[in-house]
Structure 1
Amino acid sequence: MGRTALIVIDMPNTYEHEDADVLVPSVREALRGIGALLKRARDAEAPVVYVNDNFGRWRSHHGEILDTALAGRYADLVDPIAPDGDALFVVKARHSAFFETPLAYLLDQLDARRVVLCGQVTEQCVLYSALDAHIRHLDVIVALDAVAHIDAGLAEAALRMMERNMAAELRPSGEITFEDVRSA
């Protein structure tokens, strides 16, 4: 048996980048689904791991990243889904949550065999994280109503790729549970 972990990608965000104006409305739509997943995972005592960019600040840590995002113009997008005291936090520098981070090791230590991905951006960081989870033999679920996009067409194509090429399950957040899973 293995556990299911919720991976929250890039949600503490300052939205101080060129695509922010296009991204923010999609993030607003995804917040309810992300919040529902967080509640369900916390209630099930499933691991919750936030994986986040460091905004190019190489001395930053999770508290500083969260504080910076909460002090920004879009704190209302961060506050409802902010990490609680039990959440784990991994800092990343590139698109994938796994690339040169300790996430794979952490998931192994947690005995996580399945990951539920939510956050942003569907056609970038979520896609690459799903690929890296798949090649690590993790079962992948992408929460359809809990991912945000910049380009709707590319996001739809990315979701199809995740489902077809990475065997990812695409489900609404309300259909996702955090029970233990059988190892392959």
Structure 2
Amino acid sequence: MVNHHQGVVAIAAALTAMAAAAPSSIAEATRFSKETVSKCQEKWQVSEEIIEEMQRNKGALPNEDSVEQRCFAECVAKEMGMINNGGGVAADKIVKMLEAVFQMASKETGEKLKLDSRALKRDLEACQFKGEDDECTNSYDTLKCLRTLGTSDNMRRYVTKES
């Protein structure tokens, strides 16, 4: 059985998955994810099957026309602090979390990794969508943009190894 609670972080894009590792332990991050999913599921009636499909598809919704699915994705992203009301990206928070993730990874692997925070923040801010958030559309559009930034290929642009 797929553990969709661990993978729900993908709903807020691949960047969010990296940010979820920032808590001191994986168990803590998983617990937060379960709480977040449960809270958002109560508010937006999205089935376990839909959540599992979103996980398999790195946060992409099975039905982008579904208000329930868009608002569920928005709820999870807001609960995790990745987006603000109206679909705005919490760029500073995302960058800080990723810096913490890279610092932890460097300690664990002994390999010094450096995040180009300025470039990442600039690109995150480019994901801002303006206007009223009509049925969670702006937020979901923001999440789609974040998901494109969070691919492995794109993340390589922001990460360098220190000598």
- TM-score past 0.5 threshold: no
The structure carrying a bigger helix percent of its residues is 2
State the TM-score, normalizing by the size of structure 1: 0.31
State the TM-score, normalizing by the size of structure 2: 0.33
- The structure with higher relative contact order (CA 8 Å, sep 6+) is 1
The structure carrying a bigger strand percent of its residues is 1
